[in-house]
Structure 1
């Protein structure tokens, strides 16, 4: 006689959502949050005027900043001192070159002004090679007269790629993306990402679709705080805003401590130092997800920094040429930079309009039934 014993196990998993602030516009940000600054980066202004040979209390912190973004190699394992030594001087000079500043090797006022601006968490220098000033040279030949000499015209493309030029495979032109289920985002917030992906698909042969499955999607998006397990911890309000990994990783992480504005409302932005436009950051990080590195062209989407209160979502010609080098052009692209996408603005003027993912509650996920079969043979 054969019979079956079926065991039924029900399993519950408690997952705490990650807290994040979203505001329809900057006027909805409470006064207590409006003028928040990044404590450590803001303190860098104390080093204005420092130069080689000096010893200044706390200078080791700016060395850690430069190491985080690749200007000092990760292989350097010694303890940083407060000496303005050759290591720091070389880092400052490369930083100034990348950002098209006057190369002095000193922490002059303009250099410090750039350093304290909020930025992408991806490095500017990888394995000792700058991703920002290695322009791609293209040569064109033009014959102005029959039998005459053929002038050679040179142009430099400033877009950059990750080392090895990683990209999504040719058989994966329809990419999916999903949001971390611990971030119960509103449709309005998800719409910001849809617009950001759309700006890239308008100009290249890629399509993006939002799906529910976080574990099977090509691209995963989440808001996190502090050390979130990828070796690139976030640092609170301002500082590093987000980071994304090169293909085919698909990981896209944003700092949940920022005051994210979802409407693109710039009119009241200017007086709010801690407001960050979500779509501007999303468009930039998607560029990394697709294989683009940082650009030294300030107008480019792929420029590493963005000042608070600024909205920058339109691809420049350099951004377009870079992404089309990797994936080809969208057949419907007319050869000009795509127009800005229309965004819905909602000016409530009230603090209660902010949407918060509350980390004080918990999310219960019911996992599927686990069946246990025991077959007993006579």
Structure 2
């Protein structure tokens, strides 16, 4: 059985020093596994930055604690929130289950942890003003990727009033879809913006495939998840949902689940 990893961030830690060094997630967490409040360990500040990037520590420039390697109240609180969000034991400690989930690739879109049902929305619940939306692919996009994303759009259309049509002018489309290098520190596999911005970026540096191929990411499965973001859905806590932020690189997940559909129904009231 494939290990669960999902969509977007490959935890490729970048150490910010004179010679930028990359460490694997396994190597990184081997040093942090089992750590708890009160300890000072090299790499803690990188973990704090990562938790900030995915929504568990506020982006406050005056917060100097994020730049220290001290396992402090800030980190303990962030870990407890993360553990609660993903139904792990809420310990505030880097236990095995927490480390296992943190070290997996995940979506580049931030979590917005709060008390809620499994599905969720972006802050303010942004959404489209019409059910008739257009999409376009950047010039030069490979044909099999166009077909796969078009299939994903059709899946969302089949469970909602949304209708998607091609716009031949890329800049005028509601959804602008492309493959490009995304050189963020934590290497997102893909990233989408909320309504009504409508941008979907697949990381061109990854191995994109159609179907279940070892070591490859299924374009339609990832596209299905990212289109959910374009429509206004945030991440789900339901591990069976398409909008859950973790899946394996060689898993095909192209069927929308009740949680995904219910979230869209609640947002758009249909």
Q: Give the equivalent residue in structure 1 for 2:106.
A: 119
**RMSD of aligned Cα (Å):** 1.9
Query: Is residue 177 from structure 1 mapped to residue 135 from structure 2 by the alignment?
Result: yes
Q: Distance in 1 between matches of 2:97 and 2:146?
A: 37
> 1:41 maps to what in 2?
25
Residue 78 of structure 2 corresponds to: 91
Q: Which residue pairs with 1:319 in the alignment?
A: 260
8 A Cα contact 2:141 2:179, kept in partner? no
In 2, the alpha carbon distance for the partners of 1:90 and 1:309 equals: 34
2:28, 2:256 → 1: CA distance?
A: 32
Q: So what's the TM-score if we normalise by structure 1?
A: 0.62
Instruction: Pick the structure with more helix per residue.
Output: 2
Is the 1:205–1:327 Cα contact (8 Å) retained in structure 2? no
Q: 1:70 aligns with which of 35, 43, 55?
A: 55
Q: Give me the whole-angstrom Cα distance separating, in 2, the residues matched to 1:311 and 1:44.
A: 29
Cα distance, 1:43 vs structure 2: 3.1
What does residue 169 of structure 2 align with? 213
Q: Give the Å deviation of 1:40.
A: 4.6
Q: 2:123 is matched with which residue?
A: 163
Indicate if the aligned counterparts of 2:107 and 2:189 stay in contact, CA closer than 8 A: yes
* Structure with the higher strand share, 1 or 2: 1
Unaligned segments of structure 1, at least 5 residues = 1-35, 136-157, 228-232, 330-378
CA distance in 1, matches of 2:166, 2:120: 28
- In the alignment, structure 2 segments of 5+ residues that lack a partner are 1-9, 13-22
Does the 8 Å CA contact 2:208/2:216 hold for their aligned counterparts?
yes
Q: Please, what TM-score do these two structures have when normalized by structure 2? A: 0.86
**By how many angstroms is 1:210 displaced?**
2.2
Is the CA contact 1:44–1:62 (under 8 Å) kept in the aligned structure 2?
no
Please name the residue that 1:257 is paired with.
Answer: 205
User: Cα gap change, 1:161/1:194 in structure 2, threshold over 3 Å: closer, same or farther?
Assistant: same
Deviation digits for residues 8-59 of structure 1, max 9, x if unmatched?
xxxxxxxxxxxxxxxxxxxxxxxxxxxx984453433221111111111112
- DSSP-derived class of the 1:197 partner: helix
In structure 1, what is the equivalent of residue 16 of structure 2? Answer: none
2:223 to 282, 289, 303: 282
Question: Relative to structure 1, is the Cα distance of residues 219 and 234 closer, same or farther in structure 2, using a 3 angstrom cutoff?
Answer: farther
Partner in structure 2 of residue 188 of structure 1: 144
Q: Which whole-Å deviations, capped at 9, do the CAs of 1:92-128 have from their partners, x for residues lacking one? A: 1111111111111011111111011111101012xxx
Match of 2:196 among 248, 256, 265: 248
Asked if the contact 1:300–1:319 (Cα under 8 Å) also holds between the matched residues in 2, the reply is yes
Separation in 1 of the partners of 2:147 and 2:240? 24
Q: Which residue of 2 aligns with 1:30?
A: none
